[in-house]
Chains A and B, each alone.
Chain A
Amino acid sequence: MSISAKKDDSLFESEPYYEAQGDEITLFEAAYKNHIPILLKGPTGCGKTRFMEHMAWRLKRPLVTVSCHDDLTASDLVGRYLIVGGETQWIDGPLARAVRQGAICYLDEIVEARKDTTVVIHPLADDRRVLPIEKTGELLKADEHFCLAISYNPGYQSVLKDLKQSTRQRFIAIEFNYPTTNLETQIVVQETGLDRDTASMLVKYAVMTRNLKGNGLDEGASTRLLVHTGKLIMSGIDTRVACRTAIADALTDEPDLLAAINELGTALF
């Protein structure tokens, strides 16, 4: 039995912390109201998943998250028959479950899944909003609370893995990026409890690593790495050590690049 899709539905009781970068919240709400599915694109660690959690709380719907990967099949998403107590029983997959519950279904890193798996979402992603379940012959219609969202990172990746036009043109796209310096500082402070000055130095450090993108680094430090660093510092780890472990060593293994990133770190801290 393969354990493929990671299932995680939750109804959020308390507000997941999220700072808006632009008008993404209003955009999402508008799309939700109009039953248009949403595509989140942006580099790793800049808030896509947190945004989804926040919107699920805001709209008071459960969130079903699926982390996509190469082995994901259509039945992993839709469901399959299992033998339970000598009888066959249909068990919904996360997608079908979300449709039935009127939940928000979030397919994370959709390009990792194979294209013949991805097309399963097409009938849900246009104005039909239905999920055909061939095995049972059921045509599951989404109620008005259901919402489909997908995410991917358009960055440095294989030419073999990208989003087909027939898939992407069913969505509205919200672009995520690293937040502005003030916002990012605020996020680090909020998530870690760090003082504002140190937090803003960390953000400065991240910006420096982002300047190296393309000339050695695929991606600069994400906000997530800064939060990790902040948490280490709050636990008593020396700042320079925290920067080295949570930022420099997390970004690259190449010794020349590591040396340069560490030089930037020691110049700051």
Chain B
Amino acid sequence: MPLTTAELERLLERVLDPVLSSRRTVSESATSLSQCTEKSQQFALQWLKIVCATNAELGYRFITNVAAAMSRMDLQLVEQWVVNALDIYDQSGLYPGTAALIEIDTFIKHSGTHRQAVKLKQERELLGRYLQGLSGRNMQIRSSSHPHTDTESVYLPEVINYFSDRKSNRLVLKAMATHLWGMNRFGTFKRATPDAPGLEQRLSELPDNANKMSIFHALEAERINACISRELPGLKRELNDLSGIPKHDATWQTAIDVLSLPTSTIDDTLKWTRLFLKRRIPLTNSKPWHGSIDIHAAEQASKQRLDKDKTELAKLIEELIQKLDAENSLIADETDKELQISLDNQSEDEQMELSINGEQVQMPPELRKKLEGMLQDLAQIPDEWLNANNNSEESPGNESEDLDLPAELPNSDPVFYYDEWDYQRKHYRKHWCTLYERQIAPGKSGFVDETIAKYHTVVGDLRRSFEILRDDPKTHKRQPFGDDIDLDAVVEANTDMRRGEEMTDRLFLKTQRSDRDIAVMFMVDLSGSTKGWIVDAEREALVLLCEALEVLGDRYAIYGFSGMTRKRCELFTIKQFSETYNESIKQRIAGIKPRDYTRMGVTIRHLTALMETIDARSRLLITLSDGKPDDYDGYRGDYGIEDTRQALIEARNKGIHPFCITIDRQGSDYLPHMYGAVNYAVVDDVRKLPKEVSEVYCQLTR
């Protein structure tokens, strides 16, 4: 029996009580719902509970609109409407979420084509890799209602459904992403020099007109379009097939023809914009994938990036000079080295060449990549930037400051003191860091079992591959006894006998499990801030790892690290080498929580000291981290990276192999310098961390 208005009112009031008031009541909702079938009512109430569990306000909006929704859509579609709104709430917050609930018409319009519509969410990873492959900077993909770029990220709409089939919609999304990439790549924001006026300023100097931005944008879009067509003919062909070649009136066509020349730059676009504004030429049609630019945001981002790049460039060049000095490949002892970069020409076929004192030198890949990135922002690198090291005074840089903090209250945790490397002084600061070995309060004991259940297919796969690794049957030759005859040994023994020498009795083959003699220590970053969910993934990764390591039989230890300032560095023992993987270890893993900061150097030194007491043929130190070294008192940037690097060198000198697994997408910017070009792995999605950690370990110790 369907519920009456009164019954509904009572029910709804109970559920929605927190968000109701004298003006906001459930009477209307109850009335409208009372006219629905019992099935619909139950559907609505069930979903109300679910939505309220996320957000009560959202729940209120839901119940106010659900009757209308149900009258216009079947229940399956209504469910999609709710789920869609919840997704939007998750991503963008309460107001967009409630808007999605209110705008039923919009949803219906989109839903009619929901099968054909392409969602950014599903394509994001693919697009991210695609953009990375296209080269240039690593760009983030974010969503926005209108496609645009600010040079650090590419903003794309959440849903594309211009066309009635999926394939075409995916093509549009790809074209949008490519176009926005193209703006960065082909110099929409490029300035002649760092001090030259930026795009915002140059546009403000043009005559004012309501259409100014649209005209500029349309002209620039055509220029970028031509660049992309030259660079990616396959894409151009597909887009022409999709939407045909556009027709423009004569004036626009002339402008487009000029801007489509390979030699055209942003300067030409601005020239034509000025012309069009003076002559008041009206707008023409444009393609859906011609994105837009948030010029202000772009210039901010660009400026920040250039400042950072400038310092890093100086550092990379200094490293190159030092390297060449060490190899004695530089001419004599010139103290004043002139550096010239000559760009052969603007096209992509020619590569940049770096010369010192007129002699060409080979550029390390990091330096080349940095220069290529900078040349997207600037037409030319200023000479002073290249020669920054010639008149360098010691710039203060990031030093580990000595904050006047109270010393730790005495307690029973063991305390250790470690030096820290100051890269500018090129000296250790003695006993600079105080490290405490702490215990972890045990967490919920069910956590480990839940994780294994959650990942049970992955656990199964991992166990299998680790079993193969462990049982990799190695045939030991020339054994005194075994399963089969070693013919090589027999032949040799025979020849020995005939020559009158002693005949060995080691004539057999034995198939045996390989003897692994590996000890591995895992160093888990427990830093806090807003990335608590990363620590969750780290926890899950550890659970899976332990399961796999138990199969393998390698000796392992797990430590978490955190801390704040040099006076309180913390190391949390999760599992020591000597401990067996039992209930209390599982509880410690469950008890891992995000904490403070990431001071890596001292942790590496401490763990290296611990590793030295372990006797194994191979000793590994694997770091799980979400980013760069970073501590409250200035331990970050170059200072942090250099100290960490120094600590890793110390570890390597003691025969320990360091390796880093990170989810920081920018990892490839600094990890090669710290860990070495092949001793790190970037996991691009934190949800893959649990599986990836084990796979990396598998490969490392094959």
A: residues with CB less than 8 A from B are 1-2, 22, 73, 75, 80-83, 88, 154-160, 180-182, 200-201, 204, 207-209, 211-212, 214-216, 240, 256-257, 259-261, 263-269
Docked CA distance A159–B188 (Å): 46
- State the Cβ distance, B689 to closest chain A Cβ, in Å: 14
| Interface 0/1 of B680-702, CB less than 8 Å to A | 11101000000000000001111
Contacts of A214 in B (CB 8 A): 668, 680-682
Among the listed A88, A159, A182, A212, which residue makes an inter-chain contact with B495, where contact means beta carbons less than 8 Å apart? A88
Stretch at the interface among B155-163, B203-211, B228-236: B228-236
Given contacts A216-B129, A256-B126, A260-B130, is CB(A160)–CB(B135) below 8 Å? no
Contacts of B348 in A (CB 8 A): 181, 204
- The number of residue pairs between A and B whose CB atoms lie closer than 8 Å in the complex comes to 110
Q: Which residues of B contact A208 (CB under 8 A)?
A: 133-135
Of B129, B130, B495, B657, which one neighbours A81 at CB under 8 angstroms? B495
Q: Which of A1, A180, A260 contacts B491 (CB 8 A)?
A: A1
Q: In the complex, which residue of chain A has the Cβ closest to the Cβ of B676?
A: A154
* Residue interface mask B284-320, A partner, CB < 8 A = 1: 0000000000000000000000000000000000000
Known: A81-B495, A83-B494, A159-B620. A266 touches B678 (CB 8 A): no
- Asked if B134 and A215 make an inter-chain contact with CB atoms under 8 angstroms apart, the answer reads no
Name the contact of B133 in the complex, choosing from A88, A154, A201, A212 (C-beta under 8 A).
A212
Tell me the chain B residues, 635-683 only, with Cβ under 8 Å from chain A. 657, 659, 665, 668, 678, 680-682
**Quick one: which of B125, B129, B234, B362 contacts A269, CB cutoff 8 A?**
B234
Q: How far is the CA of A266 from the CA of B499 in the complex (A)?
A: 68
| A266/B682 in contact, CB under 8 A | no
Q: Do residues B684 and A158 form an inter-chain contact, with CB atoms below 8 A?
A: no
A residues near B511, Cβ cutoff 8 Å: none
Q: Do the beta carbons of A82 and B665 come within 8 Å of each other?
A: no
Residues of B in contact (CB 8 Å), total: 45
Do B684 and A215 touch (CB < 8 A)? Answer: yes
Question: By the criterion CB–CB under 8 Å, are B133 and A264 in contact?
Answer: yes
A-B contact pairs, 25 of them (CB 8 A): A1-B491, A2-B487, A80-B491, A80-B495, A81-B496, A82-B491, A83-B495, A88-B495, A156-B699, A158-B699, A159-B657, A160-B702, A180-B351, A181-B348, A181-B349, A211-B133, A211-B135, A214-B680, A214-B682, A256-B129, A260-B129, A260-B133, A268-B232, A268-B235, A269-B234
Q: Which residue of A lies closest to B174 (CB)?
A: A263
Q: A207-B135, A212-B132 are in contact. List 10 more A-B contacts (CB 8 A).
A: A2-B487, A2-B488, A81-B496, A82-B495, A212-B129, A215-B665, A215-B682, A265-B234, A267-B178, A269-B233
- Asked if B702 contacts A266 (CB within 8 A), the reply is no
Q: B14 to nearest A CB, angstroms?
A: 46
Question: In the complex, are the beta carbons of B234 and A266 less than 8 A apart?
Answer: yes
- A contact residues around B491 at 8 Å (CB): 1, 80, 82-83
Interface membership of B498, Cβ < 8 A = yes
Which one of B133, B682, B700 has the greatest number of beta carbons of chain A within 10 Å? B133
| Interchain CA distance A182-B348 in the complex, whole Å | 10
B492 interface residue (CB < 8 Å to A): yes
Min C-beta distance of B78 to chain A, whole Å: 33
CA separation between A37 and B178, bound complex, in Å? 49
CA distance A204 to B351 in the complex (A): 13
Question: With an 8 A cutoff between CB atoms, is B238 at the interface?
Answer: yes
Expressed in whole angstroms, the Cα–Cα distance for A19 and B618 within the complex equals 40
What A residues does B125 contact at CB under 8 A?
Answer: 256
When distances are taken between beta carbons in the complex, the residues of chain A under 8 Å from B620 are 159
Query: Which residues in A have their C-beta under 8 angstroms from that of B238?
Result: 266
Closest to A177 in B: B365
Given contacts A1-B491, A257-B129, contact A159 B700 (CB under 8 A): yes
Bound-complex Cα distance A260 to B234 (A): 15
Contacts of B702 in A (CB 8 A): 158, 160
Query: In the assembly, what is the distance between CA of A160 and CA of B499, in Å?
Result: 39
